[in-house]
């Protein structure tokens, strides 16, 4: 990471020691055990891994100790993947403009958006991807040995660098205006939600509409399954079809 960002400001070297785990709860309480396992084993391993990547990049002789830039933008009424794609776009474009930058290291909690950032084909948020590809085309043409790296950083781990940026973004104001900018995926979700709400209204609040022959399905907790578009819908996955 040639550009000296917050990720390069740590003075720690090498891999930190993991804290001693606390006493695990009774394994019969599966939920509590999973929380303990993450907080005492997985989270520490993730942070140690990310610290190692950051320290290795920081140890390079041409990496500075100053923050080059810090910015935040309101993307509009968009979905999480598109907001992450927007953030990656601004980070990559700005980093490639730093004189002498030969390595860019990006930590993100949405690795799917990182892959989409390098995909110029038609998709929601394509403008961000095209901007990334254009910036990288010029950057790699200047020196084919330049390096761009993406690393997955789960938000719930609250790794210091990533969490600092998250807290910084929380200070953004609400989306301004009565008609904020929307993306293709956000518009699709808006329309799908309206259709889903109409289904619920017709079939579950007005019993006369469905009639006596309408099939009612229950989930494993004996609750009525309601229509949903998430993960392929609700009825078909429940029926294992």
Beta bridge partners of 52: none
- The full set of domains in the chain, from first to last, is 31-51+64-171 (3.30.420.10), 183-240 (no CATH)
CA distances from 152 to 3, 106, 109, 110 (A): 20, 9, 6, 7
What value does the CA radius of gyration of the chain take, rounded to a whole number of Å? 23
**Max intra-chain CA distance, the chain:** 75
Q: What is the dihedral of CA 45, 50, 53, 54, to 10 degrees?
A: -140
Distance of alpha carbon 188 from alpha carbon 230, whole angstroms = 13
Give the pLDDT score at 238.
53
Q: How far is CA 128 from the centre of its chain?
A: 15
Query: pLDDT averaged over consecutive 10-residue blocks of the chain (241 residues)?
Result: 35 40 64 70 82 88 80 81 91 93 92 94 92 97 95 87 85 69 81 80 70 75 74 55 50
Task: Answer whether 109's CB lies under 8 Å from 152's CB.
Answer: yes
Q: What pLDDT shows up at residue 231?
A: 61
Q: Quick one: pLDDT at residue 218?
A: 81
């Amino acid at each position: 990471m040639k550009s000296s960002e917050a990720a390069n400001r740590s003075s720690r070297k090498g891999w930190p020691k993991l804290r001693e785990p606390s006493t695990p709860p009774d394994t019969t309480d599966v939920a509590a055990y999973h929380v303990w396992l993450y907080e005492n084993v997985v989270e520490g391993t993730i942070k140690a891994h990310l610290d190692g990547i950051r320290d290795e990049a920081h140890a390079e002789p041409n990496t500075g100790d100053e923050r080059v830039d810090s910015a935040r933008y309101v993307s509009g009424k968009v979905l999480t993947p598109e907001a992450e794609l927007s953030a990656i776009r601004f980070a990559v474009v700005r980093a490639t403009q730093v004189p002498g930058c030969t390595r860019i290291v990006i930590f993100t909690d949405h690795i799917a958006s990182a892959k989409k950032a390098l995909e110029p084909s038609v998709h929601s948020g394509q403008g961000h991807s095209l901007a990334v590809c254009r910036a990288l085309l010029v950057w790699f043409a200047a020196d084919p040995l330049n390096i761009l790296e993406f690393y997955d950083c789960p938000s719930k781990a609250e790794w210091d660098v990533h969490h600092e940026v998250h807290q910084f973004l929380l200070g953004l104001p609400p989306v301004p205006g009565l008609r904020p900018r929307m993306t293709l995926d956000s518009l699709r979700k808006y329309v799908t939600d309206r259709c889903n709400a109409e289904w619920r209204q017709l079939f579950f609040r007005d019993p006369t509409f469905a009639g006596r022959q309408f099939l009612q399905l229950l989930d494993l907790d004996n609750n009525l399954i309601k229509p949903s578009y998430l993960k392929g819908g609700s009825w078909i996955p429940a029926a294992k079809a």
